[in-house]
Amino acid sequence: MQEAQIAEKQAEAMRKQADAQKLQAEVARIGADMANKNVATQNTALDAASKIALAPSITPVADTLLNEAGFMGRTENESMQAQSARIAQEEEQAAMEQQALAEQQALAEQQAVAEHEAAMQQPPLQP
């Protein structure tokens, strides 16, 4: 009975080791694919740069094609992020100002009620 349990645990350990080796192989394959894609991207970028250097007049056409395809350069992306951050900050500032105004209004109303109550508690003036 105990030998069967030992054999079962050894088999489980071997399955886990095989699974780990499969995962390591997959990680290595993904790393190699990424390296290949990076090299291909660099080659494409160099090819485009050399074409632009030889014929600078194609730059606006290429930019238009990229923009129409939805491409955003790093500078455009950073600009959009900065603009979004500014808008969020302005909205937060407006919300804080609105809250402060509401608090001031509530305080003024409380003071008016307190003054009215104080006036109601004073005895009427005798002529």
pLDDT digits 0-9 by tens, 20-71: 999 999 999 999 999 999 999 999 999 988 998 999 998 898 888 888 888 8
Give the per-residue pLDDT at 127. 62
- Average pLDDT of the chain, as a whole number: 90
Scan for tokens 């069967």, then name that residue: 4
- The model's pTM is 0.41
At residue 88 the predicted structure's pLDDT band, cuts being 50, 70 and 90, is very high
